[in-house]
């Protein structure tokens, strides 16, 4: 019998000890609201019109600053009078304080240990509002399990719990009050017609890139923007999307500093930017510099001529440091067939002269190759192959001085463009247009230009991967 009771007695003893520990925790350690005591109703703390207050002093772990009334409904940060402040944010805070209601009273006479547990022994933030001769002051502590904040007011000992609206503002830096849009851009005022030009450079950019809007003809095979320096090439559609996404991000970037002096720019790594990104829209050019990345993964950025430092996530601008290959569409040429008047193909001792006339009512070209009339659709297949010779990699030209194949193109406006393909190996050729190039292409696809030119002349089917 005793052996059977022993486990039960041990369990009962353990339960008693746990009960005592829980009572101590509730009575002496946990804040009162967590312990379930002082479950009174809400308490109206303020019922005062404060929207025309003279000043608001805020001190917290991030900042110490004063918002000063300039005129009715208009405020500025003391010492920064020329910096625009979103007065609606200020008056919104004042309205919330003026109608402040506690969710409950926690305790009338807290001891030192309790104040520390509420975060009020050394307050996380203080708020002092002056209106005429009246001064309203508040101490803000930590949050409770319900998300409300512990608070004392007017130097009185009573601790209340208040909703997060006021503390969420009073515990932040002054930058939240500034009214500033980093760049003048929105999807409503921007379009492919108004965005004319991009330029990308910086410490982490291999070459200065210039990207311009591409004026597309009907049915032209190309992207909306084209890389024009260091050489001409169709811009990757993925990069185009990333640039437009970056503009959207910059238009809503957060202010993190209000000093753009030389020392401040150096502090944020903006004196020697990792990236510099400029865009021209409606004949106005705006330039953004990107500096250091902070511990939170945000990158500092600055618009030339602005009064503020902003930040965006590091991933927003990281693509600016990609290789030039990533900026280029995987097509080696960008002109549509209806912009051409002639193509001359030479290589392996052969020459093919293709003349392209106007289109008829059905959209067919009048095409001759070495003075022989050929089928318009067959010519389209021949030209499609030239367009879709894909880039395999970035690489050097090598030692070969004679091109394997040369394609000379004459546009209807008389402009001449020359593509040369220099052998690098049995598998790769270096592609160059108008004397500039960075890429390797497939030797097999280069040889197909000659093969397809012969098929065009013979009237044979030309296979494409289009």
Cβ neighbours for 283, distance < 8 A, ≥ 6 positions apart: 196
Torsion of the alpha carbons at 198, 199, 200 and 202, rounded to the nearest 10: -150
% of residues, the chain, pLDDT over 90: 69
* Predicted confidence (pLDDT) at residue 239 exceeds the cutoff of 80: yes
How does pLDDT run across 313-365, given as a tens digit for each residue? 999 999 999 998 899 888 788 788 889 999 999 999 999 999 999 988 888 99
Strands (E), 314-359: 340-347, 350-359
Q: Which residues contact 337 (CB under 8 A, 6 or more apart)?
A: 356, 365, 379, 380, 383
pLDDT tens-digit series, residues 363-377 = 899 999 999 999 999
**Average pLDDT for 113-138:** 96
Residues facing 105 on adjacent strands: 160
* pLDDT for 2: 41
Compute how many other C-beta atoms are within 10 angstroms of the C-beta atom of residue 152.
22
Q: Are the C-beta atoms of residues 170 and 247 closer than 8 Å to each other?
A: no
How many other C-beta atoms can be found within 10 angstroms of the C-beta atom of residue 407?
24
Helix (H) or strand (E) holding 152: strand 149-153
Question: What integer pLDDT is reported at residue 215 of this predicted model?
Answer: 64
Domain ranges of the chain: 34-177, 195-327, 337-458
Using a 10 angstrom Cβ sphere, with 0-12 exposed, 13-18 middle and 19 or more buried, the burial of residue 67 is: buried
So what CATH class is 337-458? alpha beta
| Residue-averaged pLDDT of the chain | 87
Does the global pTM surpass 0.75? no
CA distance 275 to 85: 29
3-state secondary structure 261-279: CHHHHHHCCCCCCCEEEEE
CA 178 – CA 83 distance, rounded (Å): 7
403 Cβ contact list (under 8 Å, min separation 6): 347, 420, 421, 422
Check pLDDT > 60 for residue 286: yes
Give the DSSP letter of residue 85: B
DSSP-derived pairing of the beta strands 159-162 and 101-102: unpaired
Q: How far apart are CA 454 and CA 462, in angstroms?
A: 10
Query: Residue 16 above 80 pLDDT?
Result: no
Asked whether residue 466 carries a pLDDT value surpassing 50, the answer given is: no
In this prediction, residue 38 has a pLDDT band, given cuts at 50, 70 and 90, of: very low
Q: Which residues, 6+ apart, have CB-to-CB distance to 103 below 8 Å?
A: 42, 146, 148, 160, 161, 162, 163
Q: How far is CA 210 from CA 219, 229, 246, in A?
A: 25, 5, 17
Residues 6+ apart with CB under 8 A from 418: 406, 407, 408, 409, 433, 434, 435
Residue 4 has pLDDT above 80, yes or no: no
Give the rounded distance of the alpha carbon of 181 from its chain centre. Answer: 14
| Collapsed DSSP state (helix, strand, coil) of residue 57 | strand
What is the rounded average pLDDT of the residues 400-419? 95
* Distance in angstroms between the alpha carbons of the first and the last residue of the chain: 90
Selection from 31, 58, 387 nearest residue 219 by Cα = 387
pLDDT tens-digit readout, 151-166: 999 889 999 999 999 9
Q: pLDDT grade, residue 234 (50/70/90)?
A: confident
Q: What is the mean pLDDT of residues 244-266?
A: 94
Number of other residues whose CB lies within 10 A of the CB of residue 138: 24
| pLDDT tens profile 414-459 | 999 999 999 999 999 999 998 888 899 999 999 999 999 999 999 9
Query: Quick check: 219 pLDDT over 70?
Result: no
d(CA 315, CA 294): 13
Question: Can you tell me which residue has the tokens 């990069």?
Answer: 239
- Which tokens belong to 302? 């600055």
With tokens 């007065």, the residue in question is: 87
Cα separation, 222 vs 147, in Å, equals: 54
């Amino acid at each position: 019998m005793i052996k059977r009771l022993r486990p039960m007695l041990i369990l009962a003893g353990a339960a008693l000890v746990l009960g005592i520990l829980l009572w101590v925790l509730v009575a002496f350690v946990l804040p009162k609201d967590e312990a379930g005591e002082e479950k009174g109703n809400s308490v109206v703390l303020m019922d005062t019109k404060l929207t025309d207050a003279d000043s608001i002093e805020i001190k917290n772990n991030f900042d110490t600053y004063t918002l000063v009334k300039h005129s009715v409904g208009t405020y500025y940060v003391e010492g920064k009078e020329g910096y625009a402040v979103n007065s609606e944010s200020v008056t919104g805070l004042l309205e919330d304080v003026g109608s402040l209601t506690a969710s409950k009273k926690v305790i009338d006479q807290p001891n030192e240990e309790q104040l520390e547990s509420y975060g009020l022994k050394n307050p996380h933030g203080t708020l002092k509002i002056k209106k005429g001769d009246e001064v309203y002051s508040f101490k803000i502590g930590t949050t409770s399990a319900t998300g409300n904040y512990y608070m004392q007011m007017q130097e009185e000992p009573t601790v209340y719990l208040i909703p997060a609206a006021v503390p969420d503002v009073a515990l932040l830096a002054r930058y939240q009050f500034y009214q500033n849009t980093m760049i003048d851009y929105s999807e409503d005022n921007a379009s492919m017609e108004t965005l004319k030009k991009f330029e990308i450079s910086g410490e982490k950019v291999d070459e200065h890139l210039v990207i311009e809007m591409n004026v597309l003809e009907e049915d032209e095979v190309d992207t909306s923007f084209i890389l024009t320096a260091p050489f001409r090439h169709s811009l990757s559609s993925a990069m185009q999307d990333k640039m437009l996404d970056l503009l959207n991000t910059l238009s809503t970037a957060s202010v993190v500093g209000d000093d753009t002096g030389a020392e401040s720019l150096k502090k944020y790594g903006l004196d020697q930017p990792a990236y510099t990104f400029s865009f021209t829209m409606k004949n106005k050019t705006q330039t953004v510099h990107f500096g250091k990345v902070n511990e939170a993964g945000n990158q500092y950025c600055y618009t030339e001529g602005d009064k503020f430092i902003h930040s965006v996530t590091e991933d927003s601008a990281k693509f600016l440091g990609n290789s030039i290959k990533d900026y280029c569409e995987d097509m080696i040429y960008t002109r549509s067939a209806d912009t051409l008047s002639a193509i001359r193909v030479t290589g392996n001792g052969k020459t093919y002269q293709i003349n392209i006339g106007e289109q008829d009512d059905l959209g067919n070209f009048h095409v001759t190759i070495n003075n022989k009339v050929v089928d318009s659709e067959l010519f389209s297949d021949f030209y499609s192959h030239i367009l879709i010779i894909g880039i395999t990699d970035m690489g050097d030209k090598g030692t070969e001085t004679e091109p394997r194949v040369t394609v000379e193109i004459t546009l209807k406006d008389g402009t001449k463009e020359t593509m040369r393909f220099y052998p690098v190996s049995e598998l790769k050729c270096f592609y160059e247009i108008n004397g500039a190039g960075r890429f390797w292409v497939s030797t097999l696809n280069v040889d197909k230009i000659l093969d397809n030119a012969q098929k065009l002349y013979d009237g044979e089917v030309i296979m494409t991967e289009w």
